[in-house]
Every structure is written in structure tokens, then in C-alpha cells.
Amino acid sequence: MRQTVSVETAASPDVLARVTMLLARGNLSVADLHAEREGVRFQMTMTLAAESERQLNRFIRQAERLIDVYSVAPCSEKGCTAGQD
């Protein structure tokens, strides 16, 4: 199963390392990645491959709790909602 997820964080290597660690712990693969920096914020859109929807939902819940992660949201056909507050 694949799901596209949008993650908005502080533009810091530490935050990227924590997100990457969650992916590794959750046994998730990144099938596609688009990232860009806007000032002090970093926006990533990732297509993740997982064995189950439960794995993807766990990653989203855990990523939302990380320090300096501003938003995490699954994307739909209409687009991503993270960072649009």
C-alpha cells in the first residue's frame, strides 16, 4: 500500500533525522520525495510504501508529536493539507 504524506517542519537537520528515524522504525519505504525550504520552514511531500494502513497511521501520529514538526497530513486526490493553517 502507498500513501502520500505532507510533513512541514523547522528547517533543521535534527528534525529531518528524527523523521527519518521514525520511517526506519516503522519499516516504511520512501517511494518518492519532494522537498523544499521556505525560510525557516521545510516542506516534504513523501509517497510512503507500507504493508498496512496501520503502519502509515502510526507514522503520522508519531511524527505529529516530534519537536519542531508543525504539521503532518495525508494527501488526497485534492492535494495535501499540511501547512495550510
Residue 30 lies in a domain: yes
Place of cell 525550504: 37
Express as a percent the part of the chain with pLDDT over 90: 87
Query: What is the predicted pLDDT for the residue at 85?
Result: 45
Residue 37 lies in a domain: yes
Query: What is the predicted pLDDT for the residue at 81?
Result: 61
Place of cell 500500500: 1
Sequence letter at residue 9: T
Q: What are phi and psi of 22, to 5 degrees?
A: -60, -40
pLDDT 10s digits, 12-53 = 999 999 999 999 999 999 999 999 999 999 999 999 999 999
Residue 14 lies in a domain: yes
**What CA–CA distances, in Å, run from 68 to 3, 10, 12, 79?**
23, 5, 9, 23
Residue 70 lies in a domain: yes
Q: Which of 41, 46, 38 is nearest to 12 (CA)?
A: 41
pTM above 0.75?
yes
